Chain A
């Protein structure tokens, strides 16, 4: 193509020069000097370098873009500019991008990243981002002689070709020698805290993973057979005999993920007459899917092609589902009630973020009512963060259907109208899921229940705000306000703050969520603050890296600055921090707790000192079963 471009370029120069020469021959000699101007273009050609040559090189290293039945967002923009722009602002679009100076968020500044005896380096050269790491293909040879007899890992310099995420975390992908397969760089960048984190410390993973070098093979994730299903449109793995020729309709989540393949729609509407006839008719366009016109179920399934938990034991069959099409047969979904699947609470509620449809499809509002994802969210009339509908504020999303509660909502909630306790979703969609270093709202709409919490392990919404109160206290109010039968409780459940029991005795997810709740602003307002410090300090030495990270952030929310602490430091170093933060006394809280027999009473002595015997007893009961949540 560039040959043709250069040929045409020189034809214009030579033609213009010849024409001017034919005139200049008859003119004064000085007029011939003007020929310099068109001829100067020849000099320019020697310095010409196509401006997007780097982008073209990147495109060769990543899965190929473009599939025949899909038209691409580029085509959609021609007619739907407003919708295109709202999508363009979204984090859906930036889920997968080529690694350019516009997309890369992390500092590639030549720094070394060290963890568990492994060192990686991140650097930049002009438009290119580079990493230095152990060869992800796993080849090993003697670095000095080139002999493959000695198993020393080869350190390689690789370009970063692709990024994942742009909101909270960003991951980076490097090319391989097998077609367009790309592999994960073992460190991710946490945007909120502006720091690099080993990949193994960015998920809830059993502690033994945190002790591995970040570039060990356990983390050698391949994009093409994993992320491709949700982080691109219509991904086709394209693997055959060790060679990868993956192809996607588009990188990132774009128009045709939700509206279905658009090539036929574009072709049909290229005729202006067809377009105007369609507009005037006002009817649904049969050539494209509009989730807003689908039934609540079909509409939600469109989101559920990604925001759902797949059955991890069955290989995912990619590339079968199209928006609005047959859903059940296209995927192998996880069984919410499989007691061995740690991704669910034992009542079937999802406890991993990003799988919201798995939660919603268990809700009465969805099963018996008209609720869909679009009841609360909008992909186009919303802000990029959370994508809540702009035309619906606070409780209005629920009151669309539950109108009988709207006149006097405090009669139902028993909390002041404008308080956090009167927000529908704080009780019916509490923060009982985990993802990306934080708690996420459950998308299973249900009611707080102490009995269910005891059976499932799921935190009760009331005790996520009233973090200083016990399940017994909650059960009393539930019985008094809603006539709920009081379940059987043991002494600790009846007397000790439920959040502290989850924090000290729970599994990794319960501990992480409890740590988050203690730092949550509404909880600090409802339960006062300060007394949480010695308990959160205990989690600074938690076996799970993510739990430590969340505890540290909650302590910071409580005003505790931990300059010397890092959630990634060795167990020996971090064990020194907790005791120093547990020395203080909290007399005001102890006094209040003893006065009203609150859930803090068994945790502090009369003077406000920490009850270490209780603390150690709860720690010994900690649920240490290994948990893996890859989100």
Chain B
């Protein structure tokens, strides 16, 4: 039986987006909730490497990694729930938004985490350089979704 690649229909694309962001969102949420529990444990056992004066930057970076990771995970799930309600005419913007949200969901929390993993006195490590591109991706992604929603619900 010959199987020739066929152009995906808008319905296929929507299903794929929902599938991708549901899976990414929930797994990501699990990881960052786990990070939150780890940070609380470090507090409870007074680990110098996390709570010492010279670790203030690490504490801030990892707190930011935890909060951004958790919120961006929730945002992925919200996006997955939003996509089925959008029409096919905005499908390219939805794909763009998907790319941006996934990029932001990786770059921002991992940037903060890496920045805290290797600290230099009052400054974070090189990982912090990943945060600005992640932030730009997040802005483009959210703007794209807003545009889609605005087009379809006007």
Contacts and interface: CB of A to CB of B under 8 A. Distances in A.
Interface stretch (A70-78, A179-187, A199-207, A413-421): A70-78
B95 A34 contact: no
A31 interface: yes
Interface string B101-127: 011001100110010011011110111
A9 B126 contact: yes
**A-side interface mostly:** helix
Contact of A5 (B125, B130, B137): B125
Given A37-B136, A79-B46, A12 B98 contact: no
B133 A40 contact: yes
A57 interface: no
Interface in B110-154: 110-111, 114, 117-118, 120-123, 125-127, 129-130, 133-134, 136-137, 140
A26 B126 contact: no
Interface stretch (B29-37, B51-59, B62-70): B51-59
A423 B130 CA distance: 65
A23 B106 contact: no
A490 interface: no
Contacts of B44: 272
Interface in A307-355: none
B53 A74 contact: yes
Contacts of B74: none
A52 B127 contact: no
Nearest to B125: A5
Nearest to A39: B133
Q: How large is the interface on A (under 10, 10 to 19, 20 to 34, 35 or more residues)?
A: 35 or more
A13 B46 contact: no
Contact of B95 (A8, A23, A37): A23
B106 A5 contact: no
Given A271-B45, A272-B44, A74 B127 contact: no
Nearest to B140: A34
Interface stretch (A41-49, A221-229, A567-575): A41-49
Q: How large is the interface on B (under 10, 10 to 19, 20 to 34, 35 or more residues)?
A: 35 or more
A28 interface: yes
A13 B96 CA distance: 19
A595 interface: no
Interface in A260-304: 266, 269-272
Contacts of B54: 74
Interface stretch (A14-22, A449-457, A545-553, A556-564): A14-22
Contacts of B47: 270
A483 B118 CA distance: 74
A50 interface: yes
Contacts of B130: 9, 12-13, 38, 41
Contacts of B92: 27-28, 31
B126 A6 contact: yes
A154 interface: no
B106 A270 contact: no
B48 interface: yes
Contacts of B114: 5, 8-9, 12
B61 to A, nearest CB: 13
B77 interface: no
A51 interface: yes
Nearest to B118: A5
B80 interface: no
A27 B99 contact: yes
Contacts of A78: 46, 48, 51-52
B45 A272 contact: yes
Given A9-B130, A27-B96, A34 B123 contact: no
A271 to B, nearest CB: 7
Contact of A15 (B52, B95, B106): B106
A212 interface: no
Nearest to B98: A23
B18 interface: no
Nearest to A77: B53
A34 B96 contact: yes
Given A23-B95, A26-B8, A272-B44, A38 B129 contact: no
B100 interface: yes
A576 interface: no
Interface string B80-97: 000000000000100110
Contacts of B95: 23, 26-28, 31
A465 to B, nearest CB: 46
Interface string A467-492: 00000000000000000000000000
Contacts of A38: 103, 107, 130, 133, 137
A374 interface: no
B118 A1 contact: yes
Contacts of A34: 96, 99-100, 103, 137, 140
B130 to A, nearest CB: 5
Interface string A384-402: 0000000000000000000
A71 B120 CA distance: 20
Contacts of B99: 20, 23-24, 27, 31, 34
Contacts of A74: 48, 52-55
A55 interface: yes
A19 B127 contact: no
Given A5-B114, A78-B48, A16 B123 contact: no
A55 B54 CA distance: 13
B51 A52 contact: no
Contacts of B110: 12
Q: Which of B98, B121, B136 has the most CB of A within 10 A?
A: B121
Contacts of A40: 133
Contacts of B46: 75, 78-79, 266, 269-270
Contacts of B122: 51
A12 B65 CA distance: 14
17 contacts: A5-B118, A5-B125, A6-B126, A8-B114, A19-B102, A31-B99, A34-B140, A37-B103, A37-B107, A37-B134, A44-B129, A45-B126, A52-B120, A55-B121, A74-B48, A78-B52, A270-B45
* 3 nearest A-B residue pairs (beta carbon): A51-B123, A74-B52, A37-B133
Interface of B: 8, 13, 44-48, 51-55, 92, 95-96, 98-100, 102-103, 106-107, 110-111, 114, 117-118, 120-123, 125-127, 129-130, 133-134, 136-137, 140
Given A12-B114, A75-B48, 18 more contacts: A5-B125, A9-B126, A12-B106, A12-B107, A12-B110, A19-B102, A23-B95, A23-B102, A27-B95, A27-B99, A28-B95, A41-B129, A48-B126, A74-B55, A79-B46, A266-B48, A270-B46, A272-B44
